[in-house]
Amino acid sequence: SLFRLLEPHIEILVLGTGDRVERLHSGMLKQMRECGIAVEVQDTPNACATFNFLVSEKRIVAAGLIP
């Protein structure tokens, strides 16, 4: 529900899952799609790079990063 409240509306959520890519629960991915948010899951170093690239393109992006 938090993502529905944010303004401006997030286009992409980049998740960094530490040293390796972890699978997300399919229910969570479904909820994000229903909110119109694309989800990109990567290891954290690549997630940081992806986040920075998307910001440089002026995309509305958020990141959740696990060290």
Sequence spans of domains, the chain: 2-65
Position 53 confidence tier, pLDDT thresholds 50, 70, 90? very high
Q: What is the CATH number of domain 2-65?
A: 3.40.1230.10
Q: Token digits for 7? A: 């303004």
Q: pLDDT at residue 5 above 90?
A: no
Helix (H) or strand (E) segment spanning residue 51: helix 44-56
Q: Where are the beta strands (DSSP E) in 1-67?
A: 12-17, 38-42, 61-66
Position 61 confidence tier, pLDDT thresholds 50, 70, 90? very high
> 35 forms bridges with which residues in the sheet?
none
pLDDT at site 60 = 96
* Contact assessment for residue 2 and residue 62, using Cβ atoms and an 8 Å cutoff: no
Greater confidence, 7 or 48?
Answer: 48
What is the model's pTM? Answer: 0.88
pLDDT tens for residues 10-47?
A: 999 999 999 999 998 999 899 899 889 999 999 999 99
